[in-house]
């Protein structure tokens, strides 16, 4: 069974069809890249998969269970978490607080009257564990403002890990990083547990091929091709979508 399956997915904003009859199947534990030119629909695809936006039509299944749209909280409980293309961190708050808020939000028992006080240390422990995974355990008490740009990107991923996901969607986690920061981020992502399914949206092909073995290319909301590095790089349609007809 696929960790993530998308069937005949469509999304239109008014007359503009941004996702057009899209099918996608990602086996558990795979590291899949989704690439495509600006405006291809990559972030919109993530918004649909996470329930942030309702699809116009089509179906999304997490581990075989169909999603109900409009309930991002249920998506998190289905084991899926995301990091954002745009900064979603609380700037004047410490690293630890950012992570605790994220752990708290993912905590199933947070609204329960029967919740035991023991769950508070549990949230703290989970926050620390997420920090360790992204090598932020040495700056837990620093505010986000005080972090380097690379550390902020690490924190974005750590925040997504707080939900203890089985599927992690990352939208351009390395955007704007220096080469050294990028190398570090790639290493940290590659050290995440092998059974974690990752779907990575990324423009930087070095990052894509350092993390993912299967690549799906989107263009105008459609899947142009899915395959290995060599299959993708040799595909005339893909070359055309990126470079225009004259290069195909
Ligand atoms: N809420 C919205 N209302 C109207 N149009 C939208 C909305 N969100 C996205 N779009 C349009 O949908 C298309 C796809 O946008 P999307 O952000 O998914 O692209 P992307 O592949 O993530 O691009 P980038 O690589 O630049 O991040 C674009 O033409 C965008 O203008
Ligand atoms: Mg985008």
Examine the fold and report which residue of 160, 185, 205 is the final residue of a domain before the chain moves on: 160
Q: Give the mean model confidence (pLDDT) for residues 159-174.
A: 94
Tell me, yes or no, whether 171 lies in a domain. Answer: yes
Q: Are 127 and 96 in contact (CB under 8 A)?
A: yes
The whole-number pLDDT of residue 248 equals 44
User: What's the angle, vertex CA 198, arms to CA 127 and CA 51, rounded to 5?
Assistant: 80
* Domains: count for the chain: 2
Cα–Cα distance, 54 to 47 (Å, whole number):
8
Better-predicted residue by pLDDT, 248 or 58: 58
CA of 220 to the centre of ligand 1 (A): 10
Final residue in a domain of this structure, among 140, 160, 180: 160
Q: What is the pLDDT of residue 105?
A: 82
Specify whether 102 is located in the same domain as 146.
yes
Q: Is residue 84 part of a domain?
A: no
User: Which ligand is nearest to the Cα of residue 40, counting in written order?
Assistant: 1
The answer, yes or no, to whether any atom of ligand 1 lies below 6 A from the CB of 221, is no
Protein residues placing their CB within 5 Å of the ion ligand 2 = 42-43, 85
Give the model confidence (pLDDT) of 83-132 as tens digits. Answer: 887 778 999 999 999 999 999 887 766 555 555 555 667 888 999 999 99
Range of the domain at 214: 2-79+165-247
Q: Is 39 in the pocket of ligand 1 (CB under 6 A)?
A: yes
Measure 42 CA to ligand 2 centroid, in angstroms: 5
pLDDT digits 0-9 by tens, 170-227: 999 999 999 999 999 999 999 999 999 999 999 999 999 999 999 999 999 999 999 9
The mean per-residue pLDDT over the stretch 146-170 comes to 95
Distance CA 206, CA 157 (A): 19
Q: Which of 190, 191, 187, 211 is nearest to 200 (CA)?
A: 211
Residue 32 lies in a domain: yes
Indicate if 115 and 153 belong to the same structural domain. yes
User: So what's the pLDDT on residue 107?
Assistant: 72
Q: If pLDDT is split at 50, 70 and 90, which confidence band does 14 have?
A: very high
38 Cβ below 6 A of ligand 1: yes
SS3 129: helix
What pLDDT does 108 receive? 64
Q: How confident is the model at residue 70 (pLDDT cuts 50, 70, 90)?
A: low
The pLDDT tens digits for 17-66 are 999 999 999 999 999 999 999 999 999 999 999 988 999 999 999 999 88
Q: Atom 6 (ligand 1): residue with closest C-alpha?
A: 13
In this prediction, residue 245 carries a pLDDT of: 53
Cβ of 15 less than 6 Å from ligand 1? no
Q: Which of 15, 41, 52, 55 to mutate to test the pocket of ligand 1 (most atoms within 8 A of CB)?
A: 41
Full-model pTM:
0.91
> Counting beta carbons within 10 angstroms of the beta carbon of residue 161, is it exposed (0 to 12), middle (13 to 18) or buried (19 or more)?
buried
Closest CA to 130 of 105, 95, 172: 95
> Using CA atoms, how far apart are residues 190 and 88, in angstroms rounded to an integer?
23
d(CA 44, CA 40): 9
pLDDT on residue 1: 86
Q: In this structure, which ligand is nearest to the CA of 35?
A: 1
* 120 and 240, same domain (yes or no): no
Q: Is the CB of 197 under 6 A from ligand 1?
A: no
Statement to judge: residues 169 and 240 lie in one domain: yes
> At residue 161, does pLDDT exceed 60?
yes
Residues 191 and 242 in one domain: yes
């Amino acid at each position: 069974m696929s960790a993530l399956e998308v069937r005949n997915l469509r999304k239109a904003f008014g007359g503009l069809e941004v996702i057009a009859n899209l099918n996608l199947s990602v086996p558990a534990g795979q590291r899949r890249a989704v690439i495509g030119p600006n405006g291809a629909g990559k972030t919109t695809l993530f918004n649909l998969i996470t329930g942030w936006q309702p699809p116009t039509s089509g179906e999304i299944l997490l581990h075989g269970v169909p999603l109900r749209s409009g309930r991002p909280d249920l998506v998190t409980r289905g084991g899926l978490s995301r990091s954002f293309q745009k900064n979603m961190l609380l700037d004047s708050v410490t690293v630890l607080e950012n992570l605790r808020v994220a752990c708290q939000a993912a905590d199933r028992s947070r609204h329960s009257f029967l919740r035991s006080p023991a769950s508070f240390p549990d949230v703290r422990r989970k926050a620390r564990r997420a920090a360790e995974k992204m090598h932020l355990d040495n700056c837990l008490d620093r505010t986000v403002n005080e972090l380097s740009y690379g550390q902020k990107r690490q924190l974005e991923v750590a925040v997504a890990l707080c939900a203890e996901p089985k599927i992690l969607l990352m939208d351009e986690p390395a955007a704007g990083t220096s080469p050294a920061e990028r190398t570090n981020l790639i290493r940290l992502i590659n050290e995440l547990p092998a059974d974690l399914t990752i779907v990575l949206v990324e423009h930087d092909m070095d990052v894509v091929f350092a993390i993912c073995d299967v690549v799906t290319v989107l263009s105008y909301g459609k899947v142009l091709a899915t395959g290995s590095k060599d299959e993708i790089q040799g595909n005339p349609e893909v070359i055309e979508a990126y470079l225009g007809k004259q290069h195909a």
